[in-house]
A = this chain, B = another copy of it.
Amino acid sequence: MSQTSRRSVFFISDGTGISAETLGLNLLAHFPGVEFHQVRMPFIDSVEKAHACVPTILKAAQDDGMRPILLMTFVNEEVSAEFDGVQALCLDFFKTFIGPLGQELGMQPTRGIGQGRKVVDNTGYRHRMEAVNYSLEHDDGASERHLSDAEVILVGVSRSGKTPTSLYLAMQFGVKAANYPLIPEDFERGCLPKVLEGHKKKLFGLTIRPERLHEIRTERRPDSRYAALENCRHEVRQAEQLMHREGIRWLDSTTRSVEEIATKVMQECGLDGHVS
């Protein structure tokens, strides 16, 4: 098989299909030689809708000259059965595991669609949305009120990755994450911003390679002092010295995704114990 073969992949679900896509993308990433053409088909919650998907799948098979891959999470077996006859590799993430799980627990699974995060009235969900609002209000030092409610306060120079990380912590994990910039004034004074002093245990630092920081800042403000490589070097060095002196745990965000950084922060700050 050639190294640049093309395969069509369909994420199909009677719910959002986000589980299928999250796990699916991770699986596909282990085959970097293949060019995957990926299509989402969410909310396929009736036999009719399933039936209507089939021509698109067959068309892809024809275009690729190979059978497509269907990555599925179906609660409704009657609907998923519509795909049984299709010439494709069908991997159903729910069907595979729900049986063994039910057997282990000694009970039948309920068959409501999208049970996962559908129930917006449950505490876990409201908690996540509150965390998102909190993180937005406490982005970039925007509000100093209620900092004591934060579960973690990210610090670092401008554009070191604090904002996406705090939003991801809130959205995925329901963690109230504030973030606070370290600016030249802090380095001159040689100490943390006063407002952070009472919260030292909750601080977590992000740093970044100056070369990458220069790139990111240049996209936003080309040819500025802010973006200049020399200034980036200076700021990063000062920030790292400050964090070191103050005993703040920190992490280099340069080669890490927001998912990885957020998960590391959870682990380092001991927020992993209980999943909400």
On A, residues with C-beta under 8 Å from B are: 1, 5, 7, 11, 15-19, 21-23, 25-34, 37-43, 69, 73, 75, 89, 91, 93-94, 96-98, 100-102, 104-107, 109-112, 114-121, 125, 129, 132-133, 136, 139, 163-164, 167-168, 171-172, 254-260, 263-264, 266-267, 272-275
CB nearest to A22 among chain B residues: B22
**Which of these, B27, B97, B258, contacts A98 with CB under 8 Å?**
B27
**Which of these, B1, B23, B132, B259, contacts A16 with CB under 8 Å?**
B259
CB nearest to A118 among chain B residues: B257
Q: Determine the distance from Cα of A172 to Cα of B172 in the docked complex, in whole angstroms.
A: 10
CB nearest to A104 among chain B residues: B89
A116: B residues at CB distance < 8 A: 25-26, 29
A23: B residues at CB distance < 8 A: 19, 22-23, 73, 93, 97
A259: B residues at CB distance < 8 A: 16, 18, 117
**Which of these, B39, B118, B133, contacts A272 with CB under 8 Å?**
B39
**Given A31-B102, A164-B171: 12 more A-B contacts, CB < 8 Å:** A1-B106, A18-B22, A19-B23, A23-B97, A29-B117, A40-B263, A96-B97, A120-B256, A120-B257, A129-B164, A132-B167, A133-B163
CB nearest to A271 among chain B residues: B40
Chain B min CB distance to A134 (Å): 12
CB <8 Å contact, B97 and A7: no
CB <8 Å contact, B19 and A22: yes
Task: Among A11, A104, A125, find the residue whose CB has the most chain B CB atoms closer than 10 A.
Answer: A104
**Which of these, B15, B97, B136, contacts A27 with CB under 8 Å?**
B97
A28: B residues at CB distance < 8 A: 101
CB <8 Å contact, A42 and B7: no
Q: Determine the distance from Cα of A28 to Cα of B21 in the docked complex, in whole angstroms.
A: 18
CB <8 Å contact, A34 and B105: yes
Q: Determine the distance from Cα of A259 to Cα of B120 in the docked complex, in whole angstroms.
A: 10
